[in-house]
Amino acid sequence: MQTLLIVIHLIVVVALVAVVLLQRSEGGALGIGGGGGFMTGRGQANVLTRATAILATLFFVTSLALTIHANLTRAPKSILEGVTEPLAPRVPASIPSPSGGLLDELKKIEEQRQAQPPAQPEAPQSQ
């Protein structure tokens, strides 16, 4: 059923494009169009206008039919359907140390450096 609707829809689309391209340009805004054409009579213009309206209606009808058919044939799906239970509980990559965070560790290192006496420069050796 869906394949038939798609084929009909594509035929309508191609016919609609062809009919629109056959119509005479009335604006001529860019200096093109106008003049003599394939179908220039007033009667042919009415035929093309009616054909465009009919094909446009068929386009909307087939579009709606395809949408309704797709929604009717779609099976309901649970959002939890693809979820699986983790095998083991996840452990965070970095566990904070019991003494505190990274800033506390850096403060301790800085305090240790300040508590150490500064190194004595060596005296030059005389020979």
Condensed to tens digits (0 to 9), the pLDDT of residues 38-97 reads 555 556 668 888 999 999 999 999 999 999 998 888 877 777 777 777 666 665 556 555
- Total-model pTM: 0.49
Domain count, the chain: 1
Angle between helix 42-73 and helix 2-22 axes, rounded to 10 deg: 160
Helix (H) or strand (E) holding 64: helix 42-73
In a domain, residue 61? The reply is yes
Residue 127 lies in a domain: no
CB 60 within 8 A of CB 12: no
Q: Measured at the alpha carbon of residue 23, what is the angle toward residues 41 and 36, in degrees to the nearest 5? A: 50
In a domain, 69, yes or no: yes
Within a domain: residue 46? Answer: yes
User: Considering the domain boundaries, does residue 117 fall inside one?
Assistant: no
